[in-house]
Structure 1
Amino acid sequence: MSAPGEWASIPQMAQVAAARFGDAPAVVEGDSSLSFAELGQQIDQAAAAMLAAGVEAGDRVAIWASNRLEWIITALGLQAAGAALLPVNTRFKPAETAYILSRSRARLLVVEAGFADIDPAGLFRQADADLSALENVVVLPPAEAHNVPGAVSWADFLRAGESVAPEAVEARRQAVGPNQISDILFTSGTTGAPKGVMMTHGQTLRQFSNWCDFADLRRGDRYLIVNPFFHMFGYKAGWLACLMRGATVYPVPVFDVDQVLNLVEAEQVTVLPGPPTVYQSILDHPTRPRRDLSSLRVAVTGAADIPVELIRRMHEELPFQRVCTGYGLTEAGTCTGTQPGDDPETIATTAGRAMPDLEVRVADGDREAAPGETGEVLVRGFSVMAGYFDDPVATAAAIDADGWLHTGDLGILDHRGYLKIAGRIKDMFIVGGFNAYPAEIENMLLGHPAVAQAAVVGVLDERLGEVGRAFIVPQSGSAIDPDELIAWCRERMANYKVPRSVVLRESLPLNATGKVMKSELLADS
């Protein structure tokens, strides 16, 4: 295995992978398979096209597309050209995407028009967005480029790169160093306007080499990626990790349990990360007992509220040898992880301990929180972001003078140094003077045998200021009486934590990474 110090940059790592793994399959998409060597050739073509389009070192290039081969080729091509990757959420509307393109002054956009209602033409109808820096729009097949003002097709874009000498591409790639910005991932914007998190090539390679060890990713693994490429989980802990280790990528644009089961069975998939809902859907699928899922070896998941029973079932009813959870955020990557041999309760209710060469602590104001106390999670180490793009004020507010990143997440460290996430500071609500943490209450609710999913929000109350409201998805075939569930809670948790109302739902609103969108629940409250 290559050590991260052997790679100066992500595109250099990809070039080494092309030579090292050669004819082994790198990406399998439908009936087509691309080897590592062939992927290397297509990366060079994309890099040449970037140079032909005028992309310079330090520029930003955006990708607004689903999980597909061209996403990987584009990302590595633009990075080989010295540019920084700017992933865009496929659920974004034109106004949201235009803000990010304008804020980052992106030079070029590669877009999959029509996927999930992506409307690139709508970008140019946003009167308050300055897209003057956006010189090129490249439309991926099967959409037609002529439907987007000034756009070119993917084929024409690559064809223009044929005039660029291979030596020019190689010179640009070799000029990319470990301290250069590799990507800018914009935060979700739930606490204000989205901010662009800058990471370097060296940071990314070092951290996700560690992640490969954590997940036990091996050469020859077959990795089905349902996590979106625009997110760190699908990009860095996804296809980038596969390139590092020589594993095969199976991109899935939209999670469909039947498609996933078919792929696992037909392709003998070994690695299947995803949010808890992915595994719950597989376990509950009526055909699952008749499926050959024996190849599955590794599951990686993460959420503040994972039912212990789900982890037990994954161990007992599915063939996974390793089930692990962790805690991470855009500003610092994966910060903690569970360890081999951890019991189901530890895997479900904690996010493990600090990853190698990172420090994680919990602070209550200016003092260190004692084991078992709740406070803000702080992270320090090599993986903490280089800063927010063009926003030194926000960077200084997030990273203190001692190098600690203030995550905005509430957590508890136990005596083993294992971290339990209690929610976001902004999600905490105060009931009659007592702090109530939604993730803690949700974990308790998941202990009820009839509860499949739970989300708790604070709502206004004339007497107590705020009280909890629980949105509950019952287990399949189970019936829940809200009053009985509240009575069950009163027997198991302090009075201020008990939800005062329960709303039954068939499903919870989830974003593309499987997190509950509590803003939508609050809008319904």
Structure 2
Amino acid sequence: MARGQGHIAHCLSRILSLWRDSTFIISGRRRRTGSEFVDGVRRLAAGLAESGVRAGDVVAVAALNSDQYIELLLAVTYIGAIVAPLNHRWNFEEARSAMELVQPAMLAVDESCSQWAMELKNSNNLPSSILYLLVGDCSPSLNSTGSFLTMDTIKRSSKGAITSEPTWAPKEIALICFTSGTTGRPKGVALSHTSLIVQSLAKMAIVGYGEDDVYLHTAPLCHIGGISSCISMLMAGGCHVLIPKFDAKSAFEAIEGHKVTSFITVPAMMADLILYGRKGKTSDGGETVTKILNGGGSLSQDLIKGASCLFPHATIVSAYGMTEACSSLTFMTLRDPRVENSGELLPNKCVAESELHCQQQGGVCVGKAAPHIELRISGSHNDHALPSIGKILTRGLHLMVGYWDTTKPIALDSVEHGWVDTGDIGWISENGDLWLMGREKARIKSGGENVYPEEVEAVLHGHPGIAKIVVVGVPDIRLAEKVVACVKIKDDWKWFDTKFNHLGDEKVLSAEILRNYCRQRNLSRFKIPKTCMIWRKEFPVTTTGKIKREDVRKEAMSCMQLHSYL
């Protein structure tokens, strides 16, 4: 490998210089200085190499968040092996499928996934040569046969901390991160050291991660959002605080107990934090938070307002991205208290050059591309009166190496002259803001017109009576597909399956009220839901919280066969 090539383990030198004798990482009751952490990584790297893990080998990891998870991530990549995080929320069949795809030399698990390990050891579809490693403190019964290595044992048995420089796997791959596809089996996305590093630099520049930060790991380290922000904070040199998995109570205890300055969320996490705060369960711990990065969907105005009250000094930045792009493609500042106090407009506020363009084009603004990223719309031309709507394409150092498949060479899908199709549809305004229409696969073809569910959902989410909403297309004889809105209303609201507006009651919803709401907000007539139905249970989601839209569609069709909706 050429000299000067980037490696995520190069962050160890910075950690050592900033935190040698100070607490660098906190995980439960365990606190470790920078020198203790770096020494642990290097000793573990040496032990893994002596145990037989080689450059290019895959080490699958199934565990909750901990300091030892991060230690293992850096140690594996230090010796040129590849980390493949498995989602601890998967069932056994999903875990076995992922294992069969990546064919790891080692599986590392903690207590939460120990049952997997026992079943996988007895699986006939996996090589008998796989090494098994315990992460953290596991029950003695799990290792009663002595067939599991432990991190402490590996460190003690090694001849000492590794002294050589970090090395690389073929194609510079550091990580295989699984997508959370809403249909079909998740794919293994191979990401390079370079893509992880440029993503980290972008977050440092845009979000402002720095050595003075105390970063709370709210997102799981098996997802690209959690991993990319973790590596960004490792490079920035900030302090790390870990809780095994997110819940509002644990998060607030960590924020207040360790004076946390930054963390990341998805809308569901933010909603839980706000609800917990409104119940009066918090003190003034939110005063220390200065940076919140949101992903996995846009925050509603209600959530932004709630977060602003709970974390009054926090700048809130939203990101749009995908696993194949190593996390974030675009960023947008939703709230900056420094600018608010000055009375000026937000510098990165998403404002279209023409309101007419916005009304005619539609979509949800997701901000501007990060400095290292190129975006364009397929088939776009500069001589159009309106910006072209089409497939969102991207190219740059942030892109994946390809989808992992041990049966054939790694290759990118849907690539033309270096441009990769994101699978999303949108348009780019004259000032460079990306407007997202939705997933191409979710597009509804109604009466010859294209309708993107996400755009309709974004409009209806603004109604004060709606808690959640999912829009799908169902077969229709006249229109080919018709737009159907599946609605969860807030607890103190009532739903009537009638065309009347019930104007005497302020907290009543009906299909006609929602359709009028869409008209008032200038949603095109063909995009307005023809059918609205009440949804009285939780929407089906993937392990990362993405709506399983096809499952909703099937259930909506079934309900429509039994009932008549207006």
TM-score, scaled to structure 2: 0.82
- Within 5 Å, give how 1:70-469 maps onto structure 2: 70-115=68-113, 119-124=116-121, 130-132=125-127, 135-144=130-139, 147=142, 152-153=147-148, 155=150, 157-166=151-160, 169-171=162-164, 173-176=165-168, 180-190=172-182, 192-237=184-229, 239-285=230-276, 286-288=278-280, 291-292=283-284, 293-315=286-308, 318-333=311-326, 334-339=328-333, 341-342=346-347, 349-364=364-379, 372-390=387-405, 395-400=411-416, 402-469=417-484
Measure, in 2, the Cα distance between the counterparts of 1:251 and 1:446.
33
2:511 is the counterpart of 1:514: no
Measure, in 2, the Cα distance between the counterparts of 1:470 and 1:7.
50
2:510 is the counterpart of 1:482: yes
Q: Deviations over 1:299-322 (max 9, x none)?
A: 111244432332244335531431
Moved more, 240-249 or 437-446: 240-249
Q: May I ask how many residue pairs the two structures share in their alignment?
A: 513
Measure, in 1, the Cα distance between the counterparts of 2:24 and 2:105.
29
Q: Which amino acid aligns with 1:404?
A: W
Q: Secondary structure at the match of 1:508?
A: coil
TM-score, scaled to structure 1: 0.88
Whether contact under 8 Å (2:88, 2:112) holds in the other structure is no
Measure, in 1, the Cα distance between the counterparts of 2:270 and 2:379.
35
Measure, in 2, the Cα distance between the counterparts of 1:118 and 1:461.
47
Q: Secondary structure at the match of 1:259?
A: helix
1:69, distance to aligned residue in structure 2 (A): 1.8
Measure, in 1, the Cα distance between the counterparts of 2:136 and 2:551.
34
Unmatched 5+ residue regions in structure 1?
A: none
State the match for 1:495 in structure 2: 525
Measure, in 1, the Cα distance between the counterparts of 2:57 and 2:420.
26
- CA gap of 1:77–1:279, structure 2 versus 1, over 3 A, is same
1:282, distance to aligned residue in structure 2 (A): 2.2
- CA gap of 1:365–1:503, structure 2 versus 1, over 3 A, is farther
Whether contact under 8 Å (1:61, 1:78) holds in the other structure is yes
Q: Deviations over 1:451-475 (max 9, x none)?
A: 2322212222233222223233334
Measure, in 2, the Cα distance between the counterparts of 1:394 and 1:140.
30
- CA gap of 1:345–1:205, structure 2 versus 1, over 3 A, is closer
Moved more, 271-280 or 19-28: 19-28
- CA gap of 1:472–1:267, structure 2 versus 1, over 3 A, is farther
Q: Which amino acid aligns with 1:522?
A: R
- CA gap of 1:368–1:146, structure 2 versus 1, over 3 A, is farther
Moved more, 305-314 or 415-424: 305-314
Q: Which amino acid aligns with 1:30?
A: G
Bigger radius of gyration, 1 or 2? 2
Identity %: 25
Measure, in 1, the Cα distance between the counterparts of 2:80 and 2:397.
22
Whether contact under 8 Å (1:51, 1:161) holds in the other structure is no
Whether contact under 8 Å (1:179, 1:202) holds in the other structure is no
- CA gap of 1:434–1:68, structure 2 versus 1, over 3 A, is same
- CA gap of 1:252–1:475, structure 2 versus 1, over 3 A, is farther
**Match among 453, 471, 488 for residue 473 of structure 1:** 488
Measure, in 2, the Cα distance between the counterparts of 1:118 and 1:125.
11
State the match for 2:502 in structure 1: none
Q: Secondary structure at the match of 1:55?
A: coil
RMSD over aligned Cα, in angstroms? 3.1
Q: Secondary structure at the match of 2:263?
A: coil
- CA gap of 1:418–1:255, structure 2 versus 1, over 3 A, is same
1:149, distance to aligned residue in structure 2 (A): 10
2:19 is the counterpart of 1:21: yes
Moved more, 511-520 or 48-57: 511-520
Measure, in 1, the Cα distance between the counterparts of 2:39 and 2:107.
22
Q: Deviations over 1:101-148 (max 9, x none)?
A: 222121001012435x96222335655xx3117521113344347547
Whether contact under 8 Å (2:177, 2:323) holds in the other structure is yes
